Structure formats: structure tokens, C-alpha cells
Amino acid sequence: MTYLENAKQYTGADLENVFFRPMLSGESAQELGVRVLYNMPTPTHVQLWDGQRNILQKYGAAGWSGGAAATKFEKEIDLKRVKAELGFSAADYFTMVYEKIAAITNVRMDDLSGTDLEKAETALFRQSLAENLRATMWVGDSSAESGYNTFDGFLKLISDQVAIEGIYNETYQDADLDAPEKVVDLFDGLWTQADTRTQDLKADGQLAYFVTSDICHLYEKYLDAKGADTAYVDAVNGRKTLAYHGIPVIDVRLGSYLSSTTFHKSFCMLTDRRNLVLAVNTADMPGNEVRMWYNPDEMENRQRAVFMAGCAILDESLITYFYKQ
């Protein structure tokens, strides 16, 4: 057998449990670095409660002195219906799926059918879909004529707010980063200019510096220059994670995507992870599905996913953003 003909379709609970939930929950969701909402009812609203301050009072006579109700803020996430489609030459598709199956132990290579085959095909499509969701989450621009234009990503939302001075932002030049130690000045600047509410959130362990790869590389060079044995070991073995003063430094890995957009090619941002939200829904719209089938006329294996997705920034004032002019 040199091609795969069995059609596969996921809808309803299978669409959620077999295909989408594994890439939008647990470690997979944590790798995105932001808050992920999956299958929240549409239209998707996020409730933000701000409890009353100074509620402690002197104990006196009986009666109610609780004052007004707690303030509630509500943010609606604009979900867009999107689809993802991939087509492969039947021979190429068979080779890619065969390679994934060959890596599985205790599999019968003379019987490429059933569960193992389905897992391999699903993993192949899920990998491509997850990366495209991650990219659109950052560089999506629904006003663009081409490219990642299915829904607005974080950089589009940020650029709109920067234009109306809704986010604290500053610019830097190449000269501001002409030495590795200068990267620390950027991190310090983000912290000192951040809203005091942002600084207070450090205790929750959810603050993060989101930076482009050039900033990450510069910071690693700065750490390499430290005169300590651990710096030498890290320079040789690499660093799985980076942090500055206990706050993770996250490489957004957008180098290959930013070049074709109008967004800033180099930036660093400080905010709470929970402030950046990616929402995906596969349950509340008829026709949402994942389908994989073989087209004998074109001798092509095809894959299609239909679902809803969108991004939101819950509180723009909790973002401090520096970018290269």
C-alpha cells in the first residue's frame, strides 16, 4: 500500500476530546504562554471582578455597612469562524504518516490501519494547526488582504492601543542594544514604567517578559559573560528557560512571521500571562469539524478543520511595551 484512502471525520465530542483538547490543555496550553479558553459559551465573555477596597471596619452596632456591590468588568472576545486546509500528494502523505507510525513501539507495520494510523494522521494535522494558531495569536490582522488575517492577534490589538496611547510604550534604537548588558536596561525599564498593579501581580507568579528572538539572544550573551562555572555550563548546554529577577523571559519565536507584516520586528513586553487570552470554540457553531479524506481524481490526501477562534487583551493598562523604531 502506497497511499491512504480511509476517510476520517471528527464532530461533536470526538472533535473536542480527540483533536482539539489535547493541544489546548495541559502542557500544550502552557507552551503557548498565555491564557487559553476552550469551548467557553459564545459569545465568549470574561468576567473580571474588582473587590471593594478598605472593607475592614470598626465593629459597632448591628446593621449592614457593606456599601455598594463589588465592581464587575466584562470583556467580550470576538470569535471568528475560520478554517484550515492542507493538501498532500498521496505518496508524500503516506511517507509522512508511515514515519510517525514507525516511531511507535509494538505496532504492526504490515497492517497500517485502525487506531495507530488514525493517531498518526491526527498528530500530523494537529501539529500544523497548533503552530498556525500560535502564529495568528500574535501576528493576526483581520484587515490584511493576505497572510494571517483570520482574526486579530495580540500585536494588532497592541498597535491599535499604542496609537491611542492606551498602552505605555517606548522606542529603542540599535544603538540602545549595542552591547549585551544593555538588555538589562530594557527589562528594568519595562518594570519601572509598569503600572503598580502590574508590579503587584509578580507575587502571583504569572508575570512574563514576552520578547522577540533578538532580545532573547542578547540576554543569553549577557548571561554567558558572567564569570561563573554555571555560566560556562549554560553556554555549552544551553538554557531551557530564561528569567530576569524571577520573571520568565519568553521568546515569542516570530522571526519567520514578522518579516511579512507591518508589525514591529523587535519588541519586548511585560504583562501578566492571564491578561493575554486565546479563545477557541468547536462546540457552539453548526458545521464545526475536522475531516481527512483521499481525493482519487487528484491523488491527493486532504485535511480540513472548521472552528472558531479569537484573541483579546483583558486590560491594556497592565501592559508595558517597548519596540524598535
DSSP notation for 173-231:
-GGGGSSTTHHHHHHHHHHHHS-HHHHHGGGGT-EEEEE-HHHHHHHHHHHHTS-SHHH
Answer yes or no: is 54 within a domain.
no
The one-letter amino acid at 171: T
Q: Is 273 helix (H, G, I), strand (E, B) or coil?
A: helix
pLDDT tens for each residue of the chain, 325 residues long: 566 777 888 898 888 888 898 888 888 888 888 999 999 888 888 876 565 566 777 777 677 766 666 666 778 898 999 999 989 888 888 788 777 777 665 555 445 445 677 778 888 888 899 999 999 999 999 999 988 999 999 999 999 888 777 789 999 998 889 899 999 999 999 999 999 999 999 999 999 999 999 999 999 999 988 877 777 777 777 888 899 999 999 999 998 999 889 999 999 999 999 999 999 999 888 889 999 898 989 889 899 999 999 999 998 989 999 999 8
Question: How far apart, in Å, are the Cα atoms of 88 and each of 166, 289, 292, 293, 304?
Answer: 45, 19, 11, 11, 12
Helices and strands (DSSP H and E) totals, the chain: 11, 14
Q: Which residues pair with 280 in a beta bridge?
A: 38, 309
Is 60 contained in some domain?
A: no
Residue whose C-alpha cell reads 500574535 in the numeric block: 138
Residue 250 sits at the vertex; the CA angle it makes with 247 and 254, to the nearest 5 degrees, is 160
Quick check: is 183 in a domain? Answer: yes
Is 64 inside a domain boundary?
Answer: no
Query: What is the pTM assigned to this prediction?
Result: 0.86
Q: How many domains does the chain have?
A: 1
Q: What is the pLDDT of residue 112?
A: 46
| Chain-centroid distance, C-alpha 166 | 22
Q: Where are the alpha helices (DSSP H) in 20-114?
A: 21-24, 26-32, 90-102
Q: Torsion over CA of 47, 50, 51 and 53, rounded to 10 degrees?
A: 180
What residue type is 85 in one-letter code? E
β-bridge mates for residue 310, sequence order: 279
Domain range for residue 205? 8-49+74-324
For 325, the 3-state DSSP assignment is: coil
User: What's residue 108's pLDDT?
Assistant: 55
Domain assignment present for residue 24? The answer is: yes
Domain-located, residue 1 = no
E-strand stretches of 78-121? 80-89
- Please report whether residue 44 resides in a domain: yes
Q: Is residue 61 part of a domain?
A: no
Angstrom distance (rounded) from CA 141 to CA 38: 21
